[in-house]
Amino acid sequence: MNKKEDLALIDVHAHLDEIADLEPSLEAAREAGVMAIVAVGSGLESNRRTLEIASAHLGYVFPAIGYHPWEIKEEEVESNLLFIHEYLAKCLALGEIGLDYKAKVKKEWQHRVFSELLDLAKKFDKPVIIHCRYSHERALRMILEKEISRAVFHWYSGSLEVLEKIISAGYFISATPALLYSLHHQEAIKRAPLEKILLETDTPVVYQGMESRPEHVRITLEQVARLKELEISVVASQTTANARHFFQLP
């Protein structure tokens, strides 16, 4: 790979609120060619911290606030939705939200919360960052029913059949360093057109013993280029353009 400064990358999905070494991690990301990071929230305290981090790093860290299906608790739903309603207008996107049928949270509660969150995305005209496990078909159906214009299916590892529907609807998928080993993730990235792929790390997820940071979006870049048999510079340029378009970044 050429000099780090030759590339301009965007990590579209990082849980910066979950890392203790924030400042060194952001500096390492800059040195690795990361020009912007989308910091995603997962619940009330996570969202508050995400907004604080973004405020301290204006123009580099862009906030998305959400309510992760793992975090849903019946007694906390109202406070989470109220917070998102109050602050979403100031955010780049709504996320991380979605459905997870492997989670212990009842499906009926997941569906209700997801539906209400999609209504907020529609109201504030925000793109949505989607988490789904064993629920891709249902999540896509709900998004289409709500007529959401911009959605990215984060770390997509679902079926190729649903992938075709996602792409046909004009939505995006994102790639992670899990491309190093996940066959389902690899197949999805091979199949999706480069024009519909975004790069991310899902910081601080651990991949093969490595706790990720935004700088590791370069690993994602390298793996997408390998799977698609394209030059790294081509993938970097297109995926960054994709992210700018999707999030309406300057």
The CATH number of whichever domain residue 211 belongs to comes to 3.20.20.140
Q: Is 242 domain-assigned?
A: no
What is the Cα–Cα distance from 237 to 218, expressed in whole angstroms? 13
**pTM score of the predicted model:** 0.96
Answer yes or no: is 61 within a domain. yes
Q: Is residue 195 part of a domain?
A: yes
Is 191 part of a structural domain of the chain?
Answer: yes
Residues 130/97, Cβ–Cβ less than 8 Å: yes
Q: Which amino acid is at 63?
A: P
Domain that holds residue 90: 9-231
Question: From CA 224, how far away is CA 236, in angstroms rounded?
Answer: 10
How far is Cα 44 from Cα 63, in angstroms, rounded to an integer? 14
Identify whether 43 is part of a domain: yes
Predicted pLDDT at 250: 82
Crossing angle of helices 77-87 and 107-124, in 10° steps, is 10
pLDDT digits (tens, 9 = 90+) for 17-45: 999 999 999 999 999 999 999 999 999 99
**How long is the chain?**
250
* Per-residue pLDDT tens digits for 192-211: 999 999 999 999 999 999 99
Domains identified in the chain, total number: 1
Burial of 179 (0-12, 13-18, 19+ CB in 10 A): buried
What is the pLDDT tens value at each position of the chain, 250 positions in all? 344 547 999 999 999 999 999 999 999 999 999 999 999 999 999 999 999 999 999 999 999 999 999 999 999 999 999 999 999 999 999 999 999 999 999 999 999 999 999 999 999 999 999 999 999 999 999 999 999 999 999 999 999 999 999 999 999 999 999 999 999 999 999 999 999 999 999 999 999 999 999 999 999 999 999 999 999 999 999 999 999 999 999 8
Has residue 241 been placed in a domain?
A: no
Q: Establish if 184 belongs to a structural domain.
A: yes
For residue 243, tell me if it sits in a domain: no
